[in-house]
């Protein structure tokens, strides 16, 4: 089925999922929409996040996508079930795949979730993990300072990153958890620093890998993979200014040949 996969996020973080989808599914075309003007979602009321998520998803569905990936943990927690009821195409979130990966990786059934306020407050990760294995202990920590590090292009300043990570994670040094879930798709841009902060003693789970695997499995089941002879295209839609988006895109995926489009979505939707 030669139609693109749609990927949405509140900003640039979902590009970490896009990179993994491209690696695992190189024949597939992708349309990405980053809602930069209203990023981050993590500190907004969940009802507002729900409205924004539906609006962004509607834009992508109108472009004729064959599948939607909600590459934002807060949006997944707020609206995944609603989106699945709203559309006839498959809709995949990032929380379920990340939870399953952590269960497979942990040796002592103790997991830390680093996420936005919204995702932590939703309890989505503990619920997803304990639905599979109720013996797991899940410790969630809100990290509101991490998304701005990425969105404001400070994630390459190692000194600033170390200071912010210490302020955010120092209380977790005594945790016996052996696995950390990066519960926000912005955080993989800081994954190496988070791994180093814990001196390599904790596995760091990026849900992008498992989300791409789940996407592939669904396309296989539906016989909806794009034929190998087709040339994939990549379209990036940005609600907001494109400069910092392209900076991160070119840094994260310098190999990518893409088209970029700027749109305007209202700050509030009715």
Residues 182 and 204: beta-carbon distance below 8 Å: yes
Q: What is the rounded radius of gyration, in angstroms, for the C-alpha atoms of the chain?
A: 18
List residues bridging with 140 in a β-sheet.
113
Sequence-separated (6 or more) residues with CB below 8 Å from residue 80 = 70, 91, 93, 95
Residues 266 and 61: beta-carbon distance below 8 Å: no
| Catalytically annotated residue among 5, 68, 71, 72 | 72
Dihedrals phi, psi of 39, to nearest 5 degrees: -85, 145
41 is in an annotated binding site: yes
74 is in an annotated binding site: yes
Count of alpha carbons within 13 angstroms of residue 126, beta-carbon side = 11
72 is catalytic: yes
185 is in an annotated binding site: yes
81 is in an annotated binding site: no
Q: Hey, how many other C-beta atoms are within 10 angstroms of the C-beta on 41?
A: 28
209 is in an annotated binding site: no
Task: Give CA angle at 187 (145, 203), nearest 5°.
Answer: 120
Dihedrals phi, psi of 185, to nearest 5 degrees: -75, -5
| Catalytically annotated residue among 184, 236, 237, 248 | 184
186 is in an annotated binding site: yes
CA distance 216 to 198: 32
Strand, coil or helix: 71: coil
184 is catalytic: yes
Binding-site residues for substrate, please? 9-10, 41-42, 73-74, 185-186
Binding-site residues, please? 9-10, 41-42, 73-74, 185-186
Positions annotated as catalytic residues are 72, 184
């Amino acid at each position: 089925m030669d139609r693109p996969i749609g990927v949405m996020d509140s900003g640039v973080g979902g590009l970490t999922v896009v990179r993994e989808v491209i690696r695992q599914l190189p024949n597939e075309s992708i349309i990405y929409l980053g809602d930069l003007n209203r990023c981050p979602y993590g500190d907004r009321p969940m009802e507002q996040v729900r409205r924004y998520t539906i609006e962004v998803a509607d834009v992508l569905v109108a472009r004729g996508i064959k599948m939607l990936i909600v590459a934002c943990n807060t949006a997944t927690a707020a609206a995944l079930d609603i989106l699945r009821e709203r559309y006839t195409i498959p809709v995949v979130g990032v929380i379920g795949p990340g939870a399953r990966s952590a269960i497979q990786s942990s040796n002592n059934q103790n997991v830390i979730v680093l996420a936005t306020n919204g995702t932590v407050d939703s309890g989505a990760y503990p619920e997803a993990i304990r639905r599979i294995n109720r013996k797991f202990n899940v410790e969630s920590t809100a990290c509101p300072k991490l998304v701005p590090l990425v969105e404001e292009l400070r994630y390459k300043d190692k000194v600033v990153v170390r200071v912010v990570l210490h302020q955010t994670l120092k209380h977790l040094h005594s945790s016996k958890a052996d696995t950390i879930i990066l519960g926000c798709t912005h955080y993989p841009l800081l994954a190496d620093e988070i791994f180093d902060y814990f001196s390599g003693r904790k596995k760091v789970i990026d849900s992008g890998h498992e989300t791409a695997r789940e996407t592939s499995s669904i396309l296989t089941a539906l016989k909806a993979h794009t034929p190998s002879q087709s040339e994939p295209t990549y379209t990036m839609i940005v609600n907001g200014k494109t400069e910092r988006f392209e900076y991160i895109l070119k840094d994260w995926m310098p190999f990518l040949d893409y088209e970029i489009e700027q749109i305007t979505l209202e700050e509030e939707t009715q």
